[in-house]
Each structure stands twice: as structure tokens, then as C-alpha cells.
């Protein structure tokens, strides 16, 4: 997100975006593939067609700038006014549990999108969500709600919840003090709870952001701390107020590669109602600048019962510069 010393643009004589896509696809398939358990929608032809489509779409954009993807923790920095940042990614997560439906299995999120719009030098508007998610069902546990899934079904799928948010940068970083920001938003009830992959609830969140660049701007450290008000889907007129947290870092390894890592999650100070359980995960990976795009790849390790046991995420980011003139 406009990081000084972190944002870079790739040089000439680098591998093509198509080659980068194919290489990352092979890595993902090698890591997650299990004989007899790979979902039938994950095929070579599916990935090939999808990646070529994404390449064509992103090729119409302008120069790329980095931000925190594949991390969940938000950086403080804002994109330039009148610019639009477009991102799309994929998440392949193993042994994901869903408390409200009792389902457990390997979850694939296809089309994890994020669009940020720069409205002023210190304000941006964000839209994020998942176009489609699939669960390869390993286990049917006790469900707290009626499900529209047969007990002998091998999988279920649904759209993911979308989030609308606004991020405000409150102060710039100085030699001794960090930059500060504030982000708030709402998660919309887009999922169908009968399909077992969501709660079909409206949730509100707000977080304070802080960031500091060290080692001559090669290391960008940033963190979030805030509150989420989650609807308790199985209890009438009830909610759970949970703490949101995240600590992350991006290290500029060289001109083309950044190393990234984080711990991010939410914590309930009381026994969490079903559907609002604690979640926490660590992500470690890298960002690669190639062909005017920024690719990212990271491994995921869950640290709570309702976080995925392990997984891998992959994505690509592009900025569209000066797309419109903001109102002054």
C-alpha cells in the first residue's frame, strides 16, 4: 500500500506472467494433492483457462505497486487518489472446520478478490470477498442448523461473504514514531447457511492500524488491534464482541522479491457462541515482481480448532493509475 522502500517494479528480462502462473500452479497442486481426495473441479484445464483469463484481464492495467497481499493484516499506507488496486487470489486450505454446520474438510476458495479505490491522500474505500468456495467433505459433525446437503454428499459449494470497508490514514510515520490509521467496515450476509460454509450474518468491525519502516526502509512492520461485533447465528438477540489482532512484516530481500509473514486472528473473552469461535493463523511466503505484475505465494498454518490445519494461498496484484479524478 504505497510502502516506501517496499514497492518495486520488475526489471526487463524476466519470466513471463504466464510462466509464473504455470510454475505457481504446479507448486500448489504438488502441495495439496492427495490421492482420491482432490476435488473434481480442480483440473489442469480448469487452471489453465482461469490463469490465461486472469492474465488477459490484468494486462490492460498500468504499473504495479506492492501492498500486503498475501497477508491478512492491514498496512497503514493508502493508495494514490484516483487509483484503483485490483487483486485476485486462490486459497487451498486443509481440514477446515465449520462450527455451525459441523462440516469438516478441505476448503478451496477460488476468486478471492479485493479492490481498493483511492479517494483522497489519506482515505481509501475497499471491497473484498470470495467469488466461489468449495468444500471437499471429510466429516459430518452435529449441525446447529438445517442443511441442504445430503449426508452422503462428497462436497458443497457457495459464494463467500463480501466486506465493505474504509481505511483512513491518521498520521505519517516519523523518525521515532509509527504511522497510524483506522479501518472500519461491515461484512455482508452473502453466504447461504444451508450450504454449510457460512453463517449468513451481518458483522461489524473496526481496527487501529500502526506501522514502522526499519533497516533503511527494507523492513516494513505493521500491526492491527480492534473489535468485531459478530452476530450469534443460533441465539436470538445475541452477539459476541471479539478482539481482532494482527502483526506482520514485509522484508525487501532484493529488487524482485519480498519476504512476508504474519500472525492474524480474533479472540473471544468469553465462551464463544457457535459460529463466532476463535480463529488464528500464521502465514509465511513471498512476493515476486515479474512482467509488470506482483505475484504472491504463502503457506498457512492454523493455530485454533476452527482454523485450517494447513494450506497455501496464491494471488496477483495490479494498480490502475489515475483512473479518475477525485472530488476536491
Residue 65 lies in a domain: yes
DSSP string, 141-184: ---SS--SS-TT-SEEEEPPP-EEEEEEEEE---SSS-EEEEEE
Residue 107 lies in a domain: yes
Q: Are 84 and 116 in contact (CB under 8 A)?
A: yes
pLDDT of residue 62: 33
Residue 51 lies in a domain: yes
Q: Are 234 and 100 in contact (CB under 8 A)?
A: yes
Rounded to whole angstroms, the Cα distance separating 287 from 70 reads 8
Per residue in 186-209, pLDDT tens?
999 999 999 999 999 999 999 999
Per residue in 85-116, pLDDT tens?
999 999 999 999 999 999 999 999 999 999 99
Residue 200 lies in a domain: yes
Q: Are 22 and 44 in contact (CB under 8 A)?
A: no
CATH of the domain at 25: 2.40.160.40
Q: Would you say residue 15 has pLDDT above 70?
A: no
Residue 151 lies in a domain: yes
Residue 183 lies in a domain: yes
Residue 5 lies in a domain: no
96 is in which domain, residue-wise? Answer: 17-320
pLDDT of residue 310: 97
pLDDT of residue 211: 97
Per residue in 251-304, pLDDT tens?
999 999 999 999 999 999 999 999 999 999 999 999 999 988 999 999 999 999
Domains of the chain: total: 1
Q: Would you say residue 172 has pLDDT above 50?
A: yes
Per residue in 109-136, pLDDT tens?
999 999 999 999 999 999 999 999 999 9
Q: Would you say residue 57 has pLDDT above 80?
A: no
pLDDT of residue 67: 58
pLDDT of residue 30: 45
Mean pLDDT throughout 64-68?
49
Q: Would you say residue 37 has pLDDT above 80?
A: no
Residue 156 lies in a domain: yes
Amino acid at each position: 500500500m504505497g510502502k516506501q522502500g517496499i514497492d518495486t517494479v520488475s526489471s526487463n528480462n524476466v519470466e513471463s506472467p504466464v510462466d509464473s502462473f504455470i510454475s505457481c500452479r504446479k507448486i500448489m497442486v504438488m502441495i495439496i494433492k492427495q490421492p482420491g481426495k482432490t476435488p473434481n473441479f480442480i483440473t489442469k484445464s480448469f487452471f489453465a483457462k482461469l490463469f490465461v483469463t486472469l492474465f488477459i484481464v490484468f494486462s490492460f492495467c498500468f504499473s504495479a505497486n506492492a501492498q500486503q497481499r498475501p497477508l491478512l493484516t492491514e498496512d497503514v499506507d493508502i493508495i494514490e487518489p484516483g487509483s484503483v488496486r485490483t487483486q485476485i487470489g486462490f486459497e487451498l486450505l486443509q481440514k477446515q472446520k465449520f462450527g455451525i454446520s459441523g462440516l469438516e474438510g478441505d476448503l478451496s476458495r477460488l476468486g478471492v478478490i479485493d479492490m481498493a479505490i483511492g479517494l483522497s491522500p489519506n482515505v481509501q474505500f475497499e471491497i473484498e470477498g470470495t467469488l466461489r468456495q468449495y468444500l471437499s467433505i471429510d466429516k459430518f459433525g452435529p449441525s446447529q442448523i438445517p442443511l441442504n446437503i445430503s449426508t452422503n454428499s462428497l462436497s458443497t459449494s457457495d459464494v463467500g461473504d463480501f466486506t465493505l470497508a474504509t481505511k483512513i490514514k491518521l498520521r505519517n510515520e516519523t523518525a521515532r514514531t509509527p504511522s497510524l490509521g483506522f479501518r472500519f467496515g461491515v461484512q455482508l450476509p452473502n453466504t447461504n447457511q444451508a450450504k454449510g460454509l457460512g453463517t449468513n450474518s451481518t458483522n461489524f468491525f473496526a481496527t487501529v492500524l500502526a506501522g514502522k519502516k526499519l533497516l533503511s526502509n527494507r523492513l516494513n512492520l505493521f500491526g492491527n488491534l480492534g473489535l468485531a461485533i459478530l452476530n450469534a447465528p443460533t441465539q436470538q438477540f445475541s452477539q459476541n464482541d471479539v478482539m481482532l489482532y494482527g502483526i506482520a512484516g514485509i522484508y525487501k530481500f532484493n529488487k524482485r522479491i519480498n519476504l512476508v509473514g504474519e500472525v492474524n486472528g480474533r479472540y473471544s473473552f468469553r465462551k464463544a457462541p457457535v459460529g463466532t469461535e476463535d480463529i488464528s493463523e500464521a502465514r509465511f511466503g513471498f512476493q515476486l515482481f515479474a512482467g509488470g505484475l506482483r505475484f504472491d505465494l504463502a503457506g498457512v498454518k492454523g493455530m485454533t480448532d476452527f482454523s485450517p490445519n494447513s494450506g497455501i494461498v496464491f494471488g496477483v496484484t495490479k494498480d490502475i493509475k489515475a483512473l479518475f479524478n477525485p472530488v476536491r
